[in-house]
């Protein structure tokens, strides 16, 4: 069992965690509502009984005032305690069978003992106990509903036994059937709520995942399509883009850790905003750089042009950021961008419990090597010949020359804007 649990995909474990947390929160919110409803309901019956006994002239309404007062006090303490302490709120789910049913039984028993029409009291109690069963459904615990069912059956049978004249066997069975029917509704409603909660959590997790990798437009399209074969490996022609901050290590030698993190967050925020504006897919952050690609998982016939325009937008974002940094006397940032178009496999890749949606293949490796070449080629943006061939003539390029890339025997022609 342990080995199987460890092999579960991380995304599944995250959904399970969010589901458990959402269910726990829903139960606490329902318990808080139930405690408040209990106070309101008991207060209403207490006020009614007092009014009828002392203003309406019907002393019989005052027989159970002691029980009602005790019931109201317990309900009030439970509500206040639950609001102040989450542990009390959590255990208050036991209140229906432990508090409500015994109190209703005590109140009705006193009314019968003091001369109320026993059949009417017994019949009215059926309605009260059904209400308590429905309230027990708010706990979202099937066990609690069944415990409440047993409690109300025993309480109702007790009232029917002491009733004079005795309630017939048929009447006793009828009341039990009513309770069973109400319990069935409660269990079904609870399970429907759980299914709905599960679906909402799963959809929220999928939406967060899409927002992590894709631009809002692409993410919305994938969500509308239900994700498709998002996690399965598929081969695409992609234009891969790598960026990197030049001299980042030397730049941050005298900076504190919080300053470094703040700088990276600001830089990446601007770069990713430019990427998403052009419909790119964020693959990963690589320290002070990032990897992205176009034309996957949603097809883009102009993927090379999108990547080129994205690179130009990133340069504009960097220029704006450097202007802001100059106002505070900070050193300007320099960036290298490399692009290459080729075939790559895109999908969820990695260990079963730690997978990432990523692209792999020669196209990715070549794009990374091209980005490295920007350090020595005299251009902040370098584009491979395969990418340049897909760009319209309106995008003027200059051939930088042929370069031997690390790990490649054949030199590659590179271009710059």
Per residue in 57-83, pLDDT tens?
788 888 888 899 999 999 999 999 988
Residue 183 or 214, more confident: 183
Task: State whether 162 and 29 are in the same domain.
Answer: yes
Task: State whether 40 and 9 are in the same domain.
Answer: yes
Q: What is the pLDDT of residue 22?
A: 73
Domain annotation covers residue 178: yes
Structure-token pair, residue 330? 């900070």
Nearby residues of 63 by Cβ (< 8 Å), 6 or more positions away: 110, 111, 114, 116
Task: State whether 135 and 21 are in the same domain.
Answer: yes
The tens digit of pLDDT for each residue in 253-266 reads 888 888 889 999 99
Residue 304 or 215, more confident: 304
The tens digit of pLDDT for each residue in 97-142 reads 999 999 999 998 888 888 788 888 888 888 899 988 888 888 877 8
Task: State whether 65 and 169 are in the same domain.
Answer: yes
Q: What is the pLDDT of residue 303?
A: 93
- The residue-averaged pLDDT of 82-87 equals 86
The CATH number of whichever domain residue 281 belongs to comes to 3.30.70.1230
Domain annotation covers residue 234: yes
CA–CA dist 34, 30 (Å, integer): 6
Instruction: Identify the band that residue 292 occupies on the pLDDT scale cut at 50, 70 and 90.
Output: very high
Range of the domain at 200: 2-208
Query: What integer best gives the mean pLDDT of the chain?
Result: 82
Q: What is the pLDDT of residue 88?
A: 87
Domain annotation covers residue 213: no
User: Over 80: is that where the pLDDT of 355 sits?
Assistant: no
The domain boundary, picked from 152, 176, 208, lies at 208
CA–CA dist 395, 403 (Å, integer): 22
Domain annotation covers residue 48: yes
- Model pTM greater than 0.85? no
Instruction: Identify the band that residue 8 occupies on the pLDDT scale cut at 50, 70 and 90.
Output: very low
Domain annotation covers residue 216: no
Q: What is the pLDDT of residue 9?
A: 47
Q: What is the pLDDT of residue 196?
A: 76
The number of beta carbons lying within 10 Å of the beta carbon of residue 372 is 17
Question: Angle CA(296)–CA(297)–CA(301) in degrees, nearest 5?
Answer: 50
User: Over 90: is that where the pLDDT of 357 sits?
Assistant: no
User: Over 70: is that where the pLDDT of 14 sits?
Assistant: no
Q: What is the pLDDT of residue 387?
A: 94
Structure-token pair, residue 407? 């790990």
Domain annotation covers residue 218: no
The number of beta carbons lying within 10 Å of the beta carbon of residue 179 is 21
- The residue-averaged pLDDT of 277-301 equals 87
Q: What is the pLDDT of residue 218?
A: 52
> Domain count of the chain?
2
Q: What is the pLDDT of residue 3?
A: 40
Residue 233 or 335, more confident: 335
- The residue-averaged pLDDT of 295-315 equals 91
């Amino acid at each position: 069992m342990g080995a199987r649990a460890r092999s579960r995909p991380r995304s599944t474990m995250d959904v399970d965690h969010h589901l458990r947390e959402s269910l726990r929160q829903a139960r606490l919110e329902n318990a808080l509502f139930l405690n408040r409803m209990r106070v309101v309901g008991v207060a209403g019956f207490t006020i009614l009984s007092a009014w009828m006994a002392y203003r309406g002239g019907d002393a019989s309404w005052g027989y159970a005032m002691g029980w009602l007062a005790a019931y109201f006090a317990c309900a009030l303490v439970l509500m206040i305690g639950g609001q102040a302490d989450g542990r009390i709120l959590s255990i208050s789910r036991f209140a229906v069978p432990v508090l409500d049913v015994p109190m209703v039984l005590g109140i009705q028993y006193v009314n019968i003992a003091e001369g109320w029409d026993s059949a009417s009291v017994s019949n009215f109690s059926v309605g009260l106990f059904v209400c308590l069963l429905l309230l027990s459904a708010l706990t979202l615990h099937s066990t609690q509903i069944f415990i409440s069912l047993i409690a109300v059956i025993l309480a109702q049978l007790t009232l029917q036994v002491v009733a004079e004249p005795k309630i017939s066997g048929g009447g006793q069975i009828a009341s039990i059937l009513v309770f069973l029917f109400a319990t069935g509704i409660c269990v079904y409603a609870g399970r429907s709520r759980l299914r709905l909660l599960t679906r909402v959590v799963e959809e929220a997790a999928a939406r967060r995942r899409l927002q992590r990798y894709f631009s809002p437009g692409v993410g919305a399209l994938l969500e509308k399509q239900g994700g498709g074969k998002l996690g399965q490996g598929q081969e695409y022609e992609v234009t891969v883009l790598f960026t990197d901050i030049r001299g980042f290590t030397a730049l941050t030698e005298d900076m504190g850790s919080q300053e470094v993190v703040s700088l990276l967050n600001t830089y990446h925020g601007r770069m990713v905003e430019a990427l998403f504006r052009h419909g790119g897919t964020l693959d990963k952050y690589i320290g002070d750089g990032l990897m992205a690609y176009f034309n996957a998982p949603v097809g883009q016939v102009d993927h090379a042009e999108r990547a080129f325009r994205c690179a130009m937008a990133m340069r504009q974002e960097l220029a704006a950021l450097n202007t802001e940094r100059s106002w505070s006397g900070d050193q300007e940032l320099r960036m290298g961008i490399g692009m290459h178009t080729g075939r790559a496999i895109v999908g969820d890749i990695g260990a079963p419990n730690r997978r990432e949606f990523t692209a792999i293949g020669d196209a990715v490796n070549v794009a990374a090597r091209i980005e490295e070449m920007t350090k020595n080629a005299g251009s902040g943006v370098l584009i491979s010949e395969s990418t340049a061939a897909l760009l319209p003539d309106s995008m003027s390029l200059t051939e930088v020359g042929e370069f031997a890339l690390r790990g490649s025997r054949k030199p590659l022609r590179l271009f710059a804007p």
